[in-house]
A and B are shown apart, each in its own frame.
Chain A
Amino acid sequence: MKLLRYALVGTVVLGLIAGKSADTLAATADVTATATIVASALTLTKDTDIDLGSIIADSIGPCTITLNASAGAAVPAKTAGNCSVAGGTSGKITVGTNIASTVTIGYTIVGTGTATAANQLESAALTMPFTGANVTAMSTATNLPVTVAGPNVIHVGGVLTVAAAQAPGVYTGKVTVTVNY
């Protein structure tokens, strides 16, 4: 009888425990999310103009002055003909950025005097060929890795074609350098 009473009580106890539903608690937490957006930025600073030096033209035939800055700063040199050149230096541009990347460089020659003087250096009505294609070939490669710390430098050169008995004067032009991410 005593054993039966224990068994009954035990059964009741187990039944009560098993039948008791689990408590469920609910709560909420507010979680903040933040982000700061900064636009990428590129800056170009011209440090040095292109200077093709002082050239003594050949009275008989054309000559070529090459300023090859594709591997770094350079000075002009005669590469064809009988003219001579003294002085001069390649152009230099510094690129600033707030994000590491590889930029694409574009070179374009625009005249300083007349609207038709693209790919020319001018002295009043006089011109000398100085093409964008040659500037591209003789300047820093068009894909340039840039870093935030820098220095990120573009060296600019070109090829000048001097005609026989080219008229004396100061010839100028403008190279527009465009950089894009």
Chain B
Amino acid sequence: MYYGNRGEKTFLCLSSSLSFRLVWVKKSNVIFISVCLLVLFGGTLDDSAHAASVSMVQPISFGTIIVASSNVTVEINAINAAAAPHIASGGLAQVSDGASGLVQVFSDTPGQSIILTYPDSILLTNGGSAMTLNGIASRSKQSAVSTSVGPINFNVGGLLHIDGGQASANYSGTMTVNVTINNP
């Protein structure tokens, strides 16, 4: 907080971790604006003032997939909303349970442009067995502009490739999602 009184001109500048606000009391705003800009360029506003946060709320789960001898792809298309996995192509297979992942970005300033960048592919592994998960970006929410302070959800999907005769096991992998927040 920066507070000052210069003659009959009273002004108040407030700064918090969430926002920077200017409030003036008197009608003449010439001196007020000048001083507040000095405060701004004096270092009060930095990245720490925009304490946006990013967290994984829910992992991507492709559920339980029963496969026969043919190659199969299982898709979670979460580009528009949360989604469940389904058999996208291939031979005999059945999928149950599962859901898209969820990354939550907390916007601390309305108007923030938030962009998520996903890897092209990752491997889901169990011991020496592996499956490829790709097509992530095209099946996930990639960007948003905040309209208010609060969390913004990004649903995450992808396309899982399962070989015929894929070993029965629990597979897992981790992708790193890069988040860029452009403040207004």
Contact = CB atoms under 8 A, between A and B. Distances in A.
B56 interface: yes
- Which range contains the number of B residues in contact with the other chain? 35 or more
Contacts of B11: none
B84 interface: no
Contact of A32 (B74, B93, B172): B172
B5 interface: no
B56 to A, nearest CB: 5
A35 B92 contact: no
B59 A34 contact: yes
Q: Which of B53, B68, B131, B174 has the most CB of A within 10 A?
A: B68
B60 interface: yes
A139 to B, nearest CB: 23
Given A27-B181, A33-B101, A13 B63 contact: no
A64 to B, nearest CB: 39
Given A25-B47, A25-B52, A34 B65 contact: no
Given A26-B179, A30-B175, A37 B60 contact: no
B15 to A, nearest CB: 14
Contact of B171 (A26, A29, A37, A98): A37
A34 B67 contact: no
Contacts of A5: 30
Interface in A1-53: 5-6, 9, 13, 16, 22-40
Contacts of B183: 22-25
B30 A9 contact: yes
Nearest to A40: B68
B122 to A, nearest CB: 7
A29 B174 CA distance: 10
A32 B177 CA distance: 11
Contacts of B1: none
A164 B103 CA distance: 81
Contacts of A31: 56, 59-60, 101, 103, 156, 174-177
Contact of B173 (A13, A23, A33, A181): A33
A34 B169 CA distance: 11
Contacts of B45: 23
B33 A28 contact: no
B54 A28 contact: yes
The 10 closest A-B pairs by CB, nearest first: A35-B62, A32-B59, A33-B60, A25-B181, A23-B183, A40-B68, A27-B54, A36-B64, A27-B179, A99-B66
Interface of A: 5-6, 9, 13, 16, 22-40, 98-101, 181
Given A22-B183, A25-B52, 6 more contacts: A23-B45, A23-B182, A28-B178, A29-B177, A38-B67, A39-B68
